[in-house]
Amino acid sequence: MENHNTHFDDRFIEEVKNANDIVEIISKYVDLKRAGDSYKGLCPFHNEKTPSFMVSENKQIFKCFGCGEGGNVITFLMKKENISFFEAIKLLCENARIELPVNNISSEENLKNYEKKQRMYDLHIELARYYFDNMQKNIENSMDYLKNRGIDEKTVRKFGLGYEVRKSSAIEYLYNHGYTKQELLDSMIFRQKNDELYSIFFSRVMYPIFDYRNRVVAFGGRITGSGEPKYLNSPESIIFKKKEQLYGLNLVRKYNAKRIILVEGYMDVIRLNQKGIVGAVASLGTSLTKEQSEIIKKQNKKVYICYDSDKAGRVATVRAIDILQSVGVKPYIISLEGYKDPDEFFNKNKTSDFMVKIENAISPLSFLIDNIKSEYNINIYSQKLEFIDKASELIKSSNDAIEMEYQTKRLAEITNMSVKSIGVKVYGQYFSPKQFQLNQKSDEKIVKKVFPHIENSDTQTNEKKLIDIISKKPDCIRYIMDILNMDDITDDSFREHYSKFLGSNGADLEPKNEEYKILRKLALFTKIDILQKKLKKLEQSQNMDVEEISFMMEEKIKIIKLISNLKEDIKGLI
């Protein structure tokens, strides 16, 4: 086989590997779970039921302890996609938006560029170290500010916060570490005036800005005294593209956060992390960009927006909803009403209070309707009508049946109108609130007609009805096996009946007859009953810590989703 390796310079290959995260690439093929410092999953190269396939984020390699396969991100793609080295490099270049060298040979310019970037990363690390030491030396000046913002010593270390005193002090330091004047200028942190260099940062608390791979690519500075601007960020450089950068993303990945919480600034990110809430990210001095939204999407996590609750924050939220939805992410909106921002919220509240806010996050449509409502005084009749018109238009534009039903009921509640009149606005003049009902009662007649031997069906639970029918017509079990699991059933004799039929196939079923419909509906209702009991139990649990609360919420969300899916199934049978 031809050795494609020779076409590329080693350093170019190194750059391609650097620009692609192996965890992100393999996650497209394997469901990876965090395991200590590494990730674990079912091996894609051999058949296994317990995971022995490991991916190391630090080392950027994979290894299967079952079949022995192993390698880097390039060899993974070659094996998995059955493609050549060249094709794998091409895929990875596309993924990381790197230009493929002309004629597959690294040009002199490409090489220089790569070296320049590496030097720039090193310069930033050196500078971060310098600022950090400065902070420790000037702790009384800077710590005052930090204490006022509720930032503790531990957080200073975790985020590598530093301090810069004078316009010129860092220059000597960088020269002593071998960096040239041109390199200082290229960092965009230093400027030249009358042949003298000076730093754009001084008298500022310095926040290193990390990229998702944990490299320092820029700095943010917050002035400690009075002066403008309050916040200042590094200008863009060869390693810092603002619109592709999300502050805090490195920590989302490090802690494998369950969710991403979009906040306005880096102080919010720091505050949330200090409170033990992982997943916060902020765009830097710009509103959310399409590039950032795509990066958020790649993380494959539930997304929340938690911007400031003032007018500007609401406008930014509307824009963020728009841009996230345009790349296919449905965000939920956390409302901190009564508090300006997360910072102010935590002055008066605990971590668990914020978890409750997450739990109560609303859908984009709910937020947009509330946002419109804030422009009207709905106690005045004419304004109320205008609000209803605008909100109904919004609801109509949704293409999610459940969301539409929910919002119709919600709007009726907000405006103190009947579901009927709001429904007509949304669904048209033939709307009847009965469309929203599951119509359990009206089934009773049909149940009795199809299964005349069933007793007193009005007062029985759904499970009892099922048992009744099945004890007389055991064959019917096959209609509902895919809905109810053995574990779902509480009645012992029913479970015994049930187990006899498991494993037999339902190929000779004649679906779509009345019997089939009724049994499936009963089974679905039974399942909903069971899930609702579970939900109640979860809600009643007390004295939980943060971990447990977040686990409980994940469970709740899962169950609520399941229930709404089942309700959809029931509608399909009506």
Of 30-38, 59-67, 376-384, 437-445, the window that binds Zn ion (rule: CB under 5 A) is 59-67
Nearer to Zn ion, 43 or 239 (CB): 43
Structure tokens at 283: 């765009």
Indicate the DSSP class of residue 287.
P
Using CB under 5 A, pick the residue from 34, 61, 63, 66 that binds Zn ion: 66
Nearer to Zn ion, 46 or 449 (CB): 46
CB of 40 to Zn ion, least distance (A): 12
Q: Are 52 and 66 in contact (CB under 8 A)?
A: yes
CB of 53 to Zn ion, least distance (A): 6
Of 63-71, 172-180, 188-196, 321-329, the window that binds Zn ion (rule: CB under 5 A) is 63-71
Structure tokens at 82: 């059955």
Of 43-51, 197-205, 249-257, 561-569, the window that binds Zn ion (rule: CB under 5 A) is 43-51
User: What three-state secondary structure class fits 167?
Assistant: coil
Residue 44 interacts with Zn ion (CB under 5 A): yes or no? no
Find where tokens 């029985």 sit: 460
Nearer to Zn ion, 43 or 161 (CB): 43
**Cα-atom radius of gyration of the chain, to the nearest Å?**
30
Using CB under 5 A, pick the residue from 64, 246, 355, 489 that binds Zn ion: 64
Of 56-64, 116-124, 142-150, 559-567, the window that binds Zn ion (rule: CB under 5 A) is 56-64
CB of 390 to Zn ion, least distance (A): 57
CB of 64 to Zn ion, least distance (A): 3
Residue 45 interacts with Zn ion (CB under 5 A): yes or no? yes
Q: Are 220 and 240 in contact (CB under 8 A)?
A: no
Nearer to Zn ion, 51 or 101 (CB): 51
Cα separation of 559 and 553, whole Å?
Answer: 10
**Across-strand partners of 191?**
198
Of 39-47, 222-230, 307-315, 502-510, the window that binds Zn ion (rule: CB under 5 A) is 39-47
Nearer to Zn ion, 45 or 501 (CB): 45
Residue 46 interacts with Zn ion (CB under 5 A): yes or no? yes
Burial class (CB in 10 A: 0-12, 13-18, 19+), 344: middle
Indicate the DSSP class of residue 276.
T
525 contact partners, CB below 8 Å, separation of at least 6: 440, 462, 570
CB of 29 to Zn ion, least distance (A): 13
CB of 66 to Zn ion, least distance (A): 4
Binding to Zn ion by CB under 5 A, coded x per residue (else -) over 4-23, reads --------------------
Of 58-66, 199-207, 344-352, 443-451, the window that binds Zn ion (rule: CB under 5 A) is 58-66
122 contact partners, CB below 8 Å, separation of at least 6: none
Cα separation of 138 and 155, whole Å?
Answer: 17
Cα separation of 322 and 394, whole Å?
Answer: 13
Q: Are 53 and 30 in contact (CB under 8 A)?
A: yes
- The distance of Cα 357 from the centroid of its chain, to the nearest Å, equals 16
CB of 52 to Zn ion, least distance (A): 6
The most distant pair of C-alpha atoms in the chain lies apart, rounded to whole Å, by 101
Of 19-27, 67-75, 477-485, 523-531, the window that binds Zn ion (rule: CB under 5 A) is 67-75
Nearer to Zn ion, 54 or 412 (CB): 54
Q: Are 216 and 124 in contact (CB under 8 A)?
A: yes
CB neighbours of residue 72 within 10 Å: 16
Nearer to Zn ion, 68 or 276 (CB): 68
Nearer to Zn ion, 43 or 296 (CB): 43
Considering CB under 5 A, how many residues would be counted as binding Zn ion?
A: 6
CB of 35 to Zn ion, least distance (A): 16
- In DSSP notation, 110-161 reads HHHHHHHHHHHHHHHHHHHHHHHHHHHHTHHHHHHHHHHTT--HHHHHHTT-
Nearer to Zn ion, 81 or 152 (CB): 81
Nearer to Zn ion, 77 or 165 (CB): 77
What does the H/E/C string look like for 495-507? HHHHHHHCCCCCC
Cα separation of 36 and 225, whole Å?
Answer: 43
Amino acid type, 242: K
Residue 75 interacts with Zn ion (CB under 5 A): yes or no? no
CB of 55 to Zn ion, least distance (A): 12
Using CB under 5 A, pick the residue from 5, 37, 59, 67 that binds Zn ion: 67
Of 62-70, 233-241, 334-342, 554-562, the window that binds Zn ion (rule: CB under 5 A) is 62-70
Separation in Å, CA 185 to CA 200, 236, 280, 464: 11, 12, 32, 79
Using CB under 5 A, pick the residue from 43, 151, 156, 524 that binds Zn ion: 43
Residues of the shown chain interacting with Zn ion in the complex, contacts defined by CB under 5 A: 43, 45-46, 64, 66-67
